[in-house]
């Protein structure tokens, strides 16, 4: 069994970043692809597994030299839950990171402590990086206030939680104002 791996859920680039599109941002497809390339590159040297429902994203991930796990899940939580269950026989710990981080540098060398680590978005509400041991009855809760929900889930399981609220990984690109450095 390998120690750990990154899991990066990626939505079809033509559909990704709905709030940016609704806010009038241009070239959103190219931006989503570019952000994903950067995140995947900075996960090295760890093994990386992309989760996607998109044939195009699967092809893209293979071109980036990473493993692909295709999913027919209808939500992010469902896709991550399925992957978590399927990968627990291969890994002791999973690092689930979003593919839209503005500054992913250092991801590959990050050494989390024991238990569960939650790296929040810069608002302190979302979960941009979630590190957890496999084999838990953990229920994922991405969406509004996911950092609080993931912390509650860890507490329910009696697992130590480290909450990181001041990381450069806290800056993801979701809203038009996130495009400003």
Q: Could you tell me the pLDDT band of residue 21, with boundaries at 50, 70 and 90?
A: low
Mind listing the pLDDT tens digit for each residue in 73-126? 889 999 999 999 999 999 999 999 999 999 999 999 999 999 999 999 999 999
Predicted confidence at residue 33, as pLDDT, reads 92
Q: Once rounded to an integer, what is the mean pLDDT over residues 146-150?
A: 98
**What's the pLDDT score for residue 2?**
73
pLDDT above 70 for 181: no
- What domains appear along the chain, each with residue ranges and CATH number? 2-179 (3.90.550.10)
Q: DSSP of the chain, one letter per residue?
A: -EEEEEEEE---TTT--HHHHHTT-SSHHHHHHHHHHHHHHHTTTSEEEEEES-HHHHHHHHHTT-EEEE---SSHHHHHHHHHHHHTTTEEEEEEE-TTBS--TTGGG----SSEEEEE-TTSSSEEEEEEESSS------STTHHHHHHHHHHHHT--EEEE-S-GGG-B--SGGGG--
pTM recorded for the entire structure: 0.94
Q: Does the pLDDT value for residue 1 go beyond 90? A: no
Would you state the pLDDT for residue 19?
73
Asked if the model's pLDDT at residue 25 lies above 70, the reply is no
């Amino acid at each position: 069994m390998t120690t750990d791996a990154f899991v990066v859920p990626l939505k079809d680039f033509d559909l990704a970043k709905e709030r940016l599109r609704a806010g009038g941002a241009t070239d959103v497809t190219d931006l989503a692809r570019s952000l994903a390339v950067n995140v995947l590159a900075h996960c090295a040297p760890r093994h990386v597994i992309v989760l996607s429902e998109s044939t195009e994203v699967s092809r893209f991930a293979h071109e980036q030299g990473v493993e692909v796990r295709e999913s027919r899940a209808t939500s992010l939580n469902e896709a991550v839950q399925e992957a978590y269950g399927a990968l627990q026989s291969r890994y002791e710990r999973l690092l689930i990171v979003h593919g839209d981080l503005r500054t992913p540098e250092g991801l590959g060398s990050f050494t989390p402590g024991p238990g569960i680590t939650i790296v929040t978005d810069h608002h302190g509400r979302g979960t941009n990086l979630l590190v957890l041991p496999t084999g838990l009855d953990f229920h994922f809760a991405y969406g509004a206030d996911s950092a609080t929900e993931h912390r509650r889930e860890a507490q329910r399981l009696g697992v130590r939680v480290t909450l990181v609220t001041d990381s450069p990984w806290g800056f993801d690109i979701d809203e038009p104002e996130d495009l400003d450095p």
